[in-house]
Structure 1
Amino acid sequence: MWLTLAGAILIEVCATLCLRASDGFRKKAWVAPMLLGYLVSFTLLSVTLSLGMPVGVAYGVWSAAGVALIAVIARVLFAEPLTPLMMGGIALIIAGVLTIELTGAAG
């Protein structure tokens, strides 16, 4: 279950990087990998849910990990800004997801 979620996250990150690389769909070579990546990512997310992971847990981890990874990788690949304030925001996203997961597991 966690392995399929990790696959969904990594493929979604790759698809989003392809979206960025497509430069507003002007670079057509990136469009097909982007579409395929999103299709596979959502399929793996669906498999994760069918294996019994609650949707709040799956989507929370999927979206938070995606945001954090995209911000860091985009900094490296595309020289996009990653300010201390942005890093703080990423930390808050992660803390929020962890809080939801930990309180949900206890309840």
Structure 2
Amino acid sequence: MNAYLYLTIAIFAEVIATASMKSVKGLSTPLPLMLMICGYILAFWMLTLVVRTIPIGIAYAIWAGMGIVLISVAALVIYGQKLDTPAMLGMAMIVGGVVVIQLFSKTTGH
């Protein structure tokens, strides 16, 4: 399977796990707890497959950068948490960095 597909799965699994974390209230909320645990297990498992092909620094930069942006979108949609202009600008720079890595870096493994 393609490393970028694994990376995409890792990113979405981590976002689901992190978004679920806010709803975990100990063992009294089993669904969010299971989503969190399973999401992180899947995310790290996929990430271990990714780093077999893509250099770990590049894979982690993409995983973390896209995770930050997507969890912010999820928090807005699910919890109504809004970002101010500096936060959105910072995230735009993170996405810009990921784009630069993908377009211009010779260490991305493709």
TM-score by length of 1: 0.85
d(CA) in 2 for partners of 1:19 and 1:49?
A: 26
CA deviations over 1:58-97 (Å, ceiling 9, x no partner): 1011001100001111011101122222111100111223
Query: Which 4+ stretches in 1 moved above 6 angstroms?
Result: none
Match of 2:68 in 1: 67
- Give the aligned CA root-mean-square deviation in angstroms: 1.9
Identity %: 32
The answer to whether the 8 A contact 1:60-1:97 is kept is yes
d(CA) in 2 for partners of 1:66 and 1:38?
A: 12
d(CA) in 2 for partners of 1:100 and 1:10?
A: 20
For residue 49 of structure 2, the aligned residue among 47, 50, 61 is 47
User: Can you give the 5+ residue segments of structure 2 that lack an aligned partner in the other structure?
Assistant: none
The answer to whether the 8 A contact 2:4-2:50 is kept is yes
d(CA) in 2 for partners of 1:88 and 1:31?
A: 32
Q: Aligned pair count?
A: 104
User: Can you give the 5+ residue segments of structure 1 that lack an aligned partner in the other structure?
Assistant: none
d(CA) in 2 for partners of 1:101 and 1:57?
A: 9
Which amino acid letter does the alignment assign opposite residue 87 of structure 2? M
Which amino acid letter does the alignment assign opposite residue 37 of structure 1? G
The answer to whether the 8 A contact 2:27-2:33 is kept is no
TM-score by length of 2: 0.83
- Greater share of helix residues, 1 or 2? 1
Which secondary structure does the structure 1 equivalent of 2:22 belong to? helix
User: How has the CA–CA distance of structure 1 residues 84 and 27 changed in structure 2, closer, same or farther, with 3 Å as cutoff?
Assistant: farther
The answer to whether the 8 A contact 1:8-1:62 is kept is yes
